[in-house]
Structure 1
Amino acid sequence: DVREQEEKNMAVSLRLGRQGIFSGLKLLKFNKSFCLRHPSQDRVRYVFQSPWMFGVSPLKVQMPALSPTMEEGSIVKWLKKEGEVVAAGDALCEIETDKAVVTMESNDDGILAKILMEEGSRSVRLGTLIALMVEEGQDWKQVEIPSPDAALPSAAPPTTPSGLASVGPPAALPSSPPPISGSLRLSPAARHILDTHGVDPRLATPTGPRGLITKEDALNLLKKSPAPKATPATVAPAGPVPATRAALTPAAPPPAPPSSRPSIPPVSVPGKPGAPGTFTEIPASNVRRVIAQRLTQSKTTIPHSYASIDCDMASVMQLRKDLAKDQVKVSVNDFIIKAAAVTLKELPEVNVTWSDDRPHALDSIHISVAVATDRGLITPIIRDAANKGVQEISANAKALAQKARDGKLLPEEYQGGTFSISNLGMFGISGFSAVINPPQACILAVGTSRTELRLNEDDQTLHTQQLMTVTLSSDGRLVDDELASRFLDKFRANLEQPQRMALA
């Protein structure tokens, strides 16, 4: 009986299994027929399975502020590729700031999913999205890419260049160009080129990011379009203009006097011979733009005072020879850095800065040394120079100068100087006046050493001297003429008697 009962149970299980299989096949057939009756089902399924719905939330990488004066940067080189694992502290890319080329490090662990700003992208504003990362273990290929507007930082609307005459109805202001629709975006260089040649920017094919018309797009448009006739600016006739006068159209400009010429020379087109009066635009690096801004700021906001003095270099030259015998190689500039630092320690009232409409005394003595590079002038810093020996100063100066020329200076190596030195003696310059590096109060300009014949007043004999002229440019708000004279007198004493610097 037990055996018969087990056989019945097995038969029932087999029947139920067959029924389950048949039911599954019927349900699959039903679903298939349902999909055929509703073709929109495929689109719905695609939407819900797309990365737009199930995309991976990104970790945003934005253009950082790598120096206090940095407003924009350029992507020089990406050190990581899309899909590579990134750890916090790893080098992501090299960015050209207003000072140097700085390596940007990652703040998060994850995977580099998408590079939004390719190598060579210039003038990228602070806060702009340059890349996207995802956390480890997530599918970096399914990263959510934000809209182009979300990748840009909030900025004021671009201002139209003044001084370009516009052609339009009399009701419009003569100094403003015709209005451009909001969807049309031009770079400043492209706008200048098209406005100068009178070409409609709507004819250009934008190739820049987010539909931006670049300078290259404008130049390509000029090559394709026929050369427009020059429309030099004319002087408005004297007397009132009738109110019923018809507006001038671009096709029929008034004839220009033979002696007049355009107020802005046209841009030369690559591949074509330049006409008289044309020019070629040279792209300015971030370093060059910041140098221009800071020099203009210095000369327009700081009252410069100048004072010069001659220093006898005989003792320094002899000391250099003695040190060279012991295989210690130091330069004249190393002694100058040391002498300036010691003098600042003796006269702390010169080691000041102007901020918030009042002077601020500085506790540290950091000497900024001007170094010429291919990108422009940069001032790496010898920190605590008064407490260092000449040999240590020499080693620091050589290392920083090489890093400056290679564009590898770190922000802390060129920020925070309290006094600057610019030496053009190696170029044969006898003397010059340097521009103050704000917010510092002084800069010392050093010329070359020269041999002069001098009269010894004690015995009325002639002897030669190795003289070097230094000129102190000082902020008149902080360092008056009397204080500047005392500084130069102590500086000369320290340089002419190097042993004084060891006792200071």
Structure 2
Amino acid sequence: MASLARILSRQIHLSARRHALSKFSMPAMSPTMTEGGITQWKKQEGESFSAGDVILEIETDKATIDVEAQDDGVLAKIISSDGTKNIRVGTTIAILAEEGDDLSAQEELPRGDRIFASPVAKKLALERGIPLGKVKGTGPEGRIILADVENYKLSSDATAVSSSTVVSQPGQPAEFIDIPLSSMRKTIGERLTKSKQDLPHYYVTTDIDMGRTLKLREVFNQSFSKEESKAKLSVNDFIVKATALALRDVPEVNSAWLDDKIRQYHRADISVAVATPTGLITPIIRDAGSKGLSTISTETKALAKKARDGKLQPNEYQGGSFTISNMGMMGVSHFTAIINPPQSAILALGSVVPTLVPVDNEKGFGTKQIMKATLSADHRVVDGAINAKFLQALKGYLENPLSFML
């Protein structure tokens, strides 16, 4: 009887342990996130972790975000491997367990129609346009490995269009390359298409004399020592501050269209467009009107670096009230930008160009440092007169930058 009791006790113990396995689903890293990709698992199958440990990196439509463990545990099984994209929020991506659990239960998980392949095999299949569903896996438990993809021959009806590179004739350079969409690029395409289709855009441009701003910037930057050179101010820092002040003066532009109402903000949370390897993202300078030029400069540099590294947190790029897109440093003299809804406007800035203008002197002309500023506005929120009033306020601050110090 004692032996039977021990056996039953062990079976109950193992059953409880087996049921301790839990599903780990693709988390929603922001309120608007519907799907994401797995950049890299930081833990391997069978490896334990503690609360606070980073267990994987997830690619959202805006950034790459570390996912931390909420409790201690063990990564029992990885279902979605590195490089997997377009995973819906809530989809099971791994199985977690507790220390000491019977991990054999993971073998009972149904695989369904999911294709198991190594990351390098997936990458090569994507490059060659090979459907993984037709590749026979020779790895453990039928997993598709690199050699399987290398040895696979496309059927005769496979077309060149499905491949990432197409060669017209053997030995000739490829005619083109197809680049898979990143989550960020896909979202940018969807949002901007919807914005341009749904929002009644219109554009107003003004010329701003940046001469005094450039001189004041030079004076400030000359005061920094070599050790403080990283703290030097950029022209964009002055623009962010001037924009915040102009939004304070003309709050109708600092608004959002919310279908049944217009929300007018009391502070200027300015989104600054930053180009990254995977697309454009707009980190936010919060309450820019209350901050000095030095603080704006420091925050902008830090956020831009995080944006390029794909390390922005959702609160650092969500919720801005107005956007600035400055392409002046790229030699662009003038352009128009697409509004980032629900915001009602976006400011597009070109480069500062020495320009001959009429002046009251002996020659009758002179040279001024002119920058073209174009405000794209949503006509449902911002009327033409309000647009012009905002640009006039912006022009006033940038042409008289000492007003920042008052």
| TM-score with structure 1 setting the length | 0.66
The Cα shift of 1:142 comes to 3.7
Give aligned-pair identity as a percent.
44
Q: Of 379, 394, 400, which aligns to 2:297?
A: 394
Per-residue CA deviation, residues 380-401 of structure 1 (Å, 9 max, x unaligned), is 1111111000111000011111
Counterpart of 1:326 in structure 2 is: 223
The Cα shift of 1:435 comes to 0.7
Q: Where in structure 2 are the equivalents of 1:56-455 lying within 5 Å?
A: 56-136=19-99, 138-139=100-101, 141-144=103-106, 146-148=109-111, 204-205=134-135, 223-225=153-155, 227-228=156-157, 266-268=161-163, 273=168, 280-327=177-224, 329-455=232-358
Gaps of 5+ in 2: 115-124, 225-230
Residue type at the aligned position of 2:349: V
Question: Matched residues in 1 for 2:16 and 2:404: separation?
Answer: 71
Question: Matched residues in 1 for 2:269 and 2:77: separation?
Answer: 42
Question: Matched residues in 2 for 1:394 and 1:121: separation?
Answer: 37
Question: Matched residues in 2 for 1:293 and 1:66: separation?
Answer: 19
Contact 1:115 1:131 in 2 (8 A): yes
SS of 1:148 mapped into structure 2? coil
When residues 268 and 463 of structure 1 are mapped into structure 2, their CA distance, relative to the original with a 3 A threshold, is same
Contact 2:21 2:96 in 1 (8 A): yes
Per-residue CA deviation, residues 191-219 of structure 1 (Å, 9 max, x unaligned), is xx79xxxxxx99933669x9999xx9999
Residue type at the aligned position of 1:308: T
Q: Number of aligned residue pairs: give it.
A: 375
SS of 1:408 mapped into structure 2? coil
Gaps of 5+ in 1: 1-27, 29-44, 152-188, 195-200, 231-264
Question: Matched residues in 2 for 1:270 and 1:463: separation?
Answer: 54
Question: Matched residues in 1 for 2:164 and 2:322: separation?
Answer: 46
Contact 1:268 1:278 in 2 (8 A): no
Question: Matched residues in 2 for 1:335 and 1:307: separation?
Answer: 21
Question: Matched residues in 2 for 1:202 and 1:326: separation?
Answer: 61
Counterpart of 1:469 in structure 2 is: 372
Which structure has more RCO (C-alpha within 8 Å, separation ≥ 6)? 2
Question: Matched residues in 1 for 2:320 and 2:17: separation?
Answer: 51
Contact 1:204 1:218 in 2 (8 A): no
Question: Matched residues in 1 for 2:383 and 2:284: separation?
Answer: 25
The Cα shift of 1:220 comes to 7.5
| TM-score with structure 2 setting the length | 0.81
Contact 2:335 2:374 in 1 (8 A): yes
Question: Matched residues in 1 for 2:261 and 2:142: separation?
Answer: 48
Per-residue CA deviation, residues 456-478 of structure 1 (Å, 9 max, x unaligned), is 24777322100000110011110
Counterpart of 2:228 in structure 1 is: none
Question: Matched residues in 1 for 2:383 and 2:397: separation?
Answer: 21
Question: Matched residues in 1 for 2:290 and 2:210: separation?
Answer: 23
Per-residue CA deviation, residues 297-328 of structure 1 (Å, 9 max, x unaligned), is 11011110100011111111111111122106
Question: Matched residues in 2 for 1:125 and 1:338: separation?
Answer: 40
Residue type at the aligned position of 1:337: V
When residues 422 and 480 of structure 1 are mapped into structure 2, their CA distance, relative to the original with a 3 A threshold, is same
The Cα shift of 1:149 comes to 5.0
Per-residue CA deviation, residues 408-431 of structure 1 (Å, 9 max, x unaligned), is 111111111111011111111000
Greater Rg by CA: 1
SS of 1:55 mapped into structure 2? helix
Deviates more, 1:456-465 or 1:487-496: 456-465
Question: Matched residues in 2 for 1:485 and 1:211: separation?
Answer: 66
Structure with a larger share of its residues in strand: 2
2:397 matches 1:494: yes
Question: Matched residues in 2 for 1:202 and 1:415: separation?
Answer: 37
